[in-house]
């Protein structure tokens, strides 16, 4: 595995073209649609014939453009992070998305009998500042181990093989009737999810899972559980003491590690189970984080849940670089998943696109310029109504140059459904600018 891809899983095959050459890009990107590996203007499966005299040029003559800006990525730290669920399988089965019949009620437990020696000082969220031992005793009943199973079929042998692979992570109880908050990458791809509360194992239902935010909600058939008290991650301060609780290595449930808030609003990129890159804004902490901690809680010294642990640095030269999803973000996503079955308001353009970064791919697609090409337009989408066509090379969006697949996603993700964006494409040697109104991304159009 190369130094540029220091993840828990090997995704190198996604970054090779049909000739086995490393392109530096995944072969196909999409904006809410199924990706396609090849483009043929006639709709067939055979790629256009290669021109033996073909010599692609990186940049043809184009009209002057605005200064290149990558919205949402200017301050983004490219950190080699690994999602910290101890998982041995990739994404696929996500569980059942159930909308319109669940309502999450965040419960504030009466802790007067639990807290016997609160100190006079307070944390950023206004709660009582307790000792490490007091916080540990208070919050550990709310953090549970999660184990998963996925059925993997391999066809490398003559007869094929059916293999069950297991994984592990953590979760935080957020209601006394069995709703549990965890990370999407803990349960994505699992055919069976088990939550252990005390000495009892419960089969869990994945009520909702959102890969883009790495948040998932589970439900178990149980009553009288101890929910975590939800704090305010927006009120956290750098240097504030915190505690991480989880299930490191998948068999050490209830493990407590302490540290501080090292940084807030840290923009990082993390490679997910399916090889896509998650761009997240996270809390950074130096509390010890290990595989299996994903989905566990990050608590302040009032015993309030302020984050959901999800990643750590895999760089051998780095220490104390753990990350957590801010609880305000996680709860908002969870509520949307429970009410709608998906995260509402996310923009949807309706195109599939490919990065052409090498001569072999360019020849395969029959183009003579490197860049980002539209390979499919969804009928009735904003892109379709704007007049985008397969074969268009995306030059800029909202005046910002498009040089990679991530540039498209970064700009679109700054908008919400209903916004109008300006897209300039190269088509038949001409520059064409269109206005596209973004739709809403739903499970149906995002398949």
Residues 301 and 297: their CA atoms lie apart, in Å, by: 13
Domain finish residue from 340, 358, 389: 340
What are the beta bridge partners of residue 300?
242
Task: Give me the phi and psi of 78, to 5 degrees please.
Answer: -90, 95
Residues in the chain: 447
- 160 and 178 housed in the same domain: yes
Nearest to 248 by CA among 306, 308, 296, 307: 296
State how far the Cα of 43 lies from the Cα of 390, in Å rounded to an integer. Answer: 10
Residue 361 sits in the same domain as residue 328:
no
Query: Contact at 8 Å (CB) between 13 and 90?
Result: no
Domain limit, last residue, from 316, 340, 364: 340
Residue 396 sits in the same domain as residue 262:
no
* Residue 142 tokens, joined: 């709310």
3-state secondary structure of 5: coil
> How far apart are the C-alpha atoms of 140 and 172, rounded to whole Å?
9
If asked whether residues 425 and 378 sit together in one domain, one would say yes
Q: How many domains does the chain have?
A: 2
Residue 445 lies in a domain: no
Q: Are residues 314 and 384 in the same domain?
A: no
Distance CA 297, CA 287 (A): 11
Decide if 67 is inside a domain. no
Phi-psi label, residue 350: left if phi above 0, alpha if psi -120 to 50, beta otherwise: left
Show the DSSP H helices in 44-149 as ranges.
132-139
Residues 24, 107 within the same domain? no
Q: What is the DSSP letter of 71?
A: T
The verdict on residue 4 lying in a domain is no
* Percent of the chain residues past pLDDT 90, beyond the cut: 47
Please, which residues have CB within 8 angstroms of residue 44's CB and are 6 or more apart in sequence?
Answer: none
Say whether both 22 and 97 belong to one domain.
no
Kindly state whether residue 101 falls inside one of the protein's structural domains.
yes
The pLDDT tens digits for 88-132 are: 433 322 233 333 344 444 443 444 343 333 333 334 555 567 889
Q: Indicate the helix (H) or strand (E) that contains 363.
A: helix 359-365
* CA–CA gap between residue 397 and residue 282 (Å, rounded): 27
- Give the dihedral of Cα atoms 8, 265, 405, 34; nearest 10 deg: 70
Q: Are 26 and 36 in contact (CB under 8 A)?
A: no
Q: Would you state the pLDDT for residue 151?
A: 79
Report residue 10 as tokens. 């090997």
Residues 334 and 351 reside in one and the same domain: no
Ranges of residues in the chain whose predicted pLDDT is under 70: 1-128, 153-161, 272-276, 445-447
Is the domain of 171 the same as that of 247? yes
Residue pair 433/385 in contact by the 8 Å Cβ criterion: no
Residue 410, domain CATH: 2.30.42.10
Do 119 and 136 belong together in one domain?
yes
Catalytic residues: 185, 214, 294
Of 319, 340, 361, the position where a domain reaches its end is 340
Asked if residue 148 lies in contact with residue 193, where contact means CB atoms within 8 angstroms, the answer is yes
DSSP letter, residue 86: B
Q: 217-245: string of b/e by CB count within 10 Å (b at 16+)?
A: bbbbebeebbbbbbbbbeebeeebbbbbb
Class of residue 163 by CB neighbours under 10 A (exposed 0-12, middle 13-18, buried 19+): exposed
CATH number at residue 198: 2.40.10.120
Give the three-state DSSP class for 362. Answer: helix
Token pair belonging to 344: 């509402």
Residue 168 CA: distances (Å) to CA of 185, 188, 240, 272, 436 = 10, 12, 29, 16, 43
Domain span at residue 389? 12-61+346-440
Residue 107 lies in a domain: yes
Residue 197 Cα to chain centre, angstroms = 27
Does residue 400 fall inside a structural domain?
yes
Q: Read out DSSP for 19-70?
A: TS-B-SS-SEEEESS---S---TTS-SSPPPPPTT---BS-------PPP--
Are 56 and 85 members of one domain?
A: no
Rounded Cα distance, 435 and 437, in Å = 7
pLDDT of residue 187: 92
Q: Residue 354 has which token pair?
A: 């490919």
Asked if residue 124 is part of any domain, the answer here is: yes
As a whole number of angstroms, the distance between CA 304 and CA 92 comes to 33
| Residue 351: inside a domain | yes
pLDDT given at position 85: 61
In a shared domain, residues 249 and 396: no
pTM beyond 0.95, yes or no: no
């Amino acid at each position: 595995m190369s130094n540029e891809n220091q993840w828990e899983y090997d995704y190198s095959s996604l970054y090779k073209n049909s000739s086995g050459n490393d392109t530096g890009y995944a072969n196909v990107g999409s904006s809410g649609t199924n990706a396609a590996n090849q483009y043929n203007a006639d709709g067939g499966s055979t790629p256009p014939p290669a021109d033996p005299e073909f010599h692609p040029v990186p940049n043809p003559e184009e009209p002057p453009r605005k200064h290149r800006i990558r919205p949402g990525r200017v301050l983004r730290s490219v950190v080699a992070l690994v999602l910290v669920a101890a998982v041995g399988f990739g994404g696929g089965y996500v569980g059942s998305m159930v909308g319109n019949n669940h309502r999450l009620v965040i419960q504030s437990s009466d802790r007067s009998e639990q807290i016997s020696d609160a100190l006079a000082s307070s944390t950023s969220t206004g709660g009582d500042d307790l000792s490490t031992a007091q916080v540990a005793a208070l919050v550990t009943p709310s953090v549970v181990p999660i184990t998963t199973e996925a059925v993997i079929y391999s066809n490398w042998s003559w007869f094929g093989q059916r293999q069950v692979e297991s994984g592990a992570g953590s979760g935080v109880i957020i209601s006394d009737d069995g709703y549990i908050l965890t990370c999407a990458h803990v349960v994505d791809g699992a055919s069976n999810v088990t939550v252990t509360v005390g000495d009892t194992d419960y089969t869990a239902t994945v009520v909702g899972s959102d890969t883009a935010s790495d948040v998932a909600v589970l439900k178990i058939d149980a009553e009288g559980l101890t929910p975590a008290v939800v704090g305010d991650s927006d009120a956290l301060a750098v240097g504030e003491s915190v505690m991480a609780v989880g299930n490191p290595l998948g068999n050490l449930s209830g493990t407590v590690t302490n540290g501080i808030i090292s940084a807030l609003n840290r923009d990082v990129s993390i490679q997910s189970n399916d090889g896509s890159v998650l761009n997240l804004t996270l809390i950074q902490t130096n509390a010890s984080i290990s595989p299996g901690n994903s989905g566990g809680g990050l608590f302040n010294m009032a015993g309030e849940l302020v984050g959901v642990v999800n990643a750590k640095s895999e760089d051998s030269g780095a220490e104390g670089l753990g990350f957590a999803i801010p609880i305000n973000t996680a709860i908002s996503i969870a509520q949307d998943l429970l009410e709608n079955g998906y995260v509402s308001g996310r923009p949807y353009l309706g195109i599939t696109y490919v990065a052409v970064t090498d001569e072999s791919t360019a020849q395969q697609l029959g183009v003579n310029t490197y860049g980002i090409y539209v390979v499919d337009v969804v009928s009735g989408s904003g892109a379709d109504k704007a007049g985008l066509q397969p074969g268009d090379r995306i030059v800029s969006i909202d005046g910002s140059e498009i040089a990679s697949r991530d540039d498209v996603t970064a700009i679109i993700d700054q908008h919400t459904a209903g916004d109008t964006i300006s897209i300039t494409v190269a088509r038949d040697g001409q520059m064409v600018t269109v206005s596209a109104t973004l739709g809403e991304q739903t499970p149906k159009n995002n398949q």
